[in-house]
Amino acid sequence: MKITSKLPNLGTNIFSVMSGLSNQHNAINLSQGFPNFDCDKKLKNLVNHYVQNGHNQYCPMTGVPALTQRLADKIQHLYQVAYNPKTEVNITSGATQAIFSTIHAFIHPGDEVIIVEPAYDCYQPAIQLAGGTVVPYQIKAPDWKIDWEAFGKLITSKTRMIILNTPHNPSGSILTDVDYQALQKLVAETDLLILSDEVYEHMIYDGQKHCSILSYPALRKRSLAVYSFGKSLHATGWKLGYIVGDEALMHEFRKVHQFDVFSTNTPMQYAIADYLEDENTYLGLSDFFQQKRDLFLDKIKDTPFKFTPSAGTYFQVVDYSAISDEPDTEFAKRMTIEYGVAVIPISVFYHNNLDHKVVRFCFAKTEDVLEAAGELIQKIEIK
């Protein structure tokens, strides 16, 4: 039987490759982006409560009303903007599903979508499956900043959407008010849509605050913003997230969502609605993860690695050019095999495998794991 692949150039993703290599060599896995610790016992008890009390059937396509209301209240408190919980907030089966469904709701064959590289790996396949064309804009080490004048030159009559990610995975950089002011000028006279991936919104460090696209009226009407409970609740395996957008945009999103997954896990939504009543469950995440970042960086500060502390996410990128001139994919494999610490090479997040001699560590780990990894990294020798 002849099969024509719709994604002929995609193989096993780098996360599976590096995790497999890590398991094979019994290495400390700082490659894949998930915690090695459990979510709050209180949250698990709430899930059990709703399971045991019969909340196990389909919920509304838009999500459990108690949760969408809770999220609308949260957005109002954090960003001083009102979203209708019935028509402008939707629970999804993780942020990835929200991104996929949004792209398929709005991208037609021949449309161009600008993404910022290095880019999380789910954007490009979704665009291609929708018949769109990926137009990459590359940010580079060490500052990972967008030159908005250069960015604007990528906009053409075919451009339909811009995908932004802040805090940015994998670089750990963040967008600021200066960035949004520049973006507003670029899109002011266009019909461009913006998909804003903000899954690490509560992981911002060194006293900075998250700048959400929701805070900018001139951008809000053309934007959908995506968030993740998996990231904020240390429960990536639950695959729950949500999307927020103007009613007209959400109307189109829901046309795809209803035939994609329709609705998502019912008892967990009830549990999360109760759990988020205490805002400290998410407002304390920046301090929680900054302590981990600082511990890890302290352990590697006297090594030949060069770095600027991550401004957001639970990832830290480091420059290894003083250690080796190997391609980052080979260096990442050697780190795993010879030194026992698995990392992710940054070049895989670029369409042309741009190699900065930079790798990414995940510091969403317990202190003992970060300390052990740091001690192993200290043994790395200049090649």
Domain boundary among 220, 251, 281: 281
Check whether residue 326 and residue 277 sit in a common domain: no
Q: Which pLDDT does position 22 carry in this prediction?
A: 85
CATH of the domain at 304: 3.90.1150.10
- 288: domain range? 14-32+284-377
Q: Looking at the domain assignment, is residue 325 inside a domain?
A: yes
In whole angstroms, what is the distance from residue 3 CA to residue 152 CA? 39
The domain total for the chain is: 2
Q: Over its length of 383 residues, how does the chain's per-residue pLDDT go in tens digits?
A: 888 898 887 766 777 888 888 889 899 999 988 999 999 999 999 999 999 999 999 999 999 999 999 999 999 999 999 999 999 999 999 999 999 999 999 999 999 999 999 999 999 999 999 999 999 999 999 999 999 999 999 999 999 999 999 999 999 999 999 999 999 999 999 999 999 999 999 999 999 999 999 999 999 999 999 999 999 999 999 999 999 999 999 999 999 999 999 999 999 999 999 999 999 999 999 999 999 999 999 999 999 999 999 999 999 999 999 999 999 999 999 999 999 999 999 999 999 999 999 999 999 999 999 999 999 999 988 76
Cβ density class 183-218: b for 16+ within 10 Å, e for less = beebbeeeebbbbbbbbbbbbbbeeeebbbbbbbee
The model's pTM is 0.96
DSSP type of residue 258: H
Q: Which amino acid is at 103?
A: I
Tell me the two tokens of residue 121.
């790996």
Residues 201 and 141 in one domain: yes
CATH of the domain at 183: 3.40.640.10
Could you tell me if 105 and 25 lie in one domain?
no
Domain stop point among 281, 313, 343: 281
The pLDDT of residue 355 is: 92
Helices and strands: H and E segment counts in the chain = 15, 12
How many angstroms from the chain centroid is the CA of residue 308? 20
